Amino acid sequence: MTKKNEGPARAPTIMDVAEAAAVSKSTVSLVLQGSTLIRDETAQRVRAEAQRLGYVYNRRAAELRRKSSNTIGVVINDLMNPFFAEVLVGIERCLVDAGHVVFMAHTHDNFERQQRVLQSMREHNAAGIVLCPAIGTPKTLPKEIQQWGIPLVIMVRSLGSGTYDFVGSQNAKGLATATRHLIERGHRRIAFLGGQSGVVYEERLEGYRQALTQARIAFDERLVVPESPTRAGGHAAMAALLERRTGATAAVCYNDISALGALAALGERGLRAGTDFALMGFDNVLDAAHSNPPLSTMDIHPGELGEQAAALLMKRMANPHLKRQTYLAEPELRLRQSG
């Protein structure tokens, strides 16, 4: 006798999981949403039964029913810079531990691309956004995003005064500290390499100038070499500085990635940082401790910066009426062989 074709097996439902785990449907839903309201023992039993049955939680459908989302948008301007990669790790670690899904986008410092990304996040009902603005971002953008009803944290690059939450570092203070360190080591001809425009660049350049003024050292424009804040930019800036024959014996760099490029330019000319020329970075990315020679820098703890951005965003999501939140990392001097 031929067995009748019974068709494909029925997919397990949330009710199947609830029955197998001997709990209610609402308990299963809370566990799969990552709620902390359910006891660990119960939550573990529910997850085990869901896995055994092959049940897949449809988070998107649940979000549509609740008219909410647990997706957080993170918009980074330059993932080629390891600083931002480390910041992103800190953001993701904090948000994922809290049960959120992170949707990351890279703008490559292109404002038009940034606008498309932000609009896409709005269309996908993002629960919040962390943004490191692209060059050229108008000061009105935070207010525009707030009008969408989406909590926002601006990170690293300030957009001036406003009501938005901000996470960054004390840029002027950090560069002043780095410059003073070189002055205390006897250097008088100190260059500023890398960076080109924007609030962060102006703040760090101002810190450099402040330290020179306090030491009664005249500011010399020939010692300031703007370049893209990249490894190639740092290489080009150092090469240009050496060609100018300014008598420079040391340099502070806009960031670590610029300093790593400057290190390479020195090496190509038979010069060694720390012996023939003193060099300081800014950020303290992981690569800084393992360059040749190891790079002295200002440490703003990139991973912790990301965690702070995530923490401020979650506070804003929980209470939209909070006063403006800010976190400014205080740079710490990390002395290694280069400076």
pLDDT at 57: 64
pLDDT at residue 10 is higher than 90: no
Q: Alpha-carbon distance 245 to 266, whole Å?
A: 14
Phi-psi group of 30: left, alpha or beta (phi > 0 → left; psi -120 to 50 → alpha; rest → beta)? alpha
Phi-psi group of 195: left, alpha or beta (phi > 0 → left; psi -120 to 50 → alpha; rest → beta)? left
Q: Which domains, from first to last, does the chain contain?
A: 14-57 (no CATH), 69-169+302-328 (3.40.50.2300), 171-299 (3.40.50.2300)
The SS3 of residue 180 is helix
Rounded to two decimals, what is the model's pTM?
A: 0.78
Query: Model confidence over 144-155: pLDDT tens digits?
Result: 998 999 999 999
Average pLDDT of every residue of the chain: 90
Query: Model confidence over 248-302: pLDDT tens digits?
Result: 999 999 999 999 999 999 999 999 999 999 999 999 999 999 999 999 999 999 9
Q: Alpha-carbon distance 191 to 86, whole Å?
A: 27
Structure tokens at 124: 């996908």
pLDDT higher at 225 or 1:
225
DSSP alpha helices (H): ranges in the chain? 14-21, 25-32, 40-53, 59-66, 82-97, 111-123, 141-147, 171-184, 199-214, 231-244, 256-268, 302-318
pLDDT at 227: 96
Instruction: Report which residue type is found at 237.
Output: A
Q: Element (H or E) spanning 253, and its range? A: strand 250-253
* Confidence bin at 80 (pLDDT 50/70/90): confident
Q: Alpha-carbon distance 246 to 68, whole Å?
A: 60
pLDDT at residue 162 is higher than 90: no
Count of CB atoms situated within 10 Å of the CB of 158: 21
pLDDT at residue 61 is higher than 80: no
Backbone angles phi, psi at 103, to 5 degrees: -110, 105
| Residues 339 and 182 sit within 8 Å (Cβ to Cβ) | yes
| Residues 149 and 128 sit within 8 Å (Cβ to Cβ) | no
312 closest CA partner among 94, 137, 78, 121:
94
pLDDT at 290: 95
| Residues 233 and 85 sit within 8 Å (Cβ to Cβ) | no
Q: Is the dihedral of CA 263, 264, 266, 267 positive or negative?
A: positive
pLDDT at 40: 86
Radius of gyration for the chain, computed over Cα atoms and rounded to the nearest angstrom? 26
Mean pLDDT to the nearest integer, 63-81:
77
For residue 160, CA distances in Å to 14, 129, 145, 153, 198 come to 49, 18, 16, 13, 11
Q: Alpha-carbon distance 132 to 169, whole Å?
A: 13
Measure CA 38 to chain center.
33
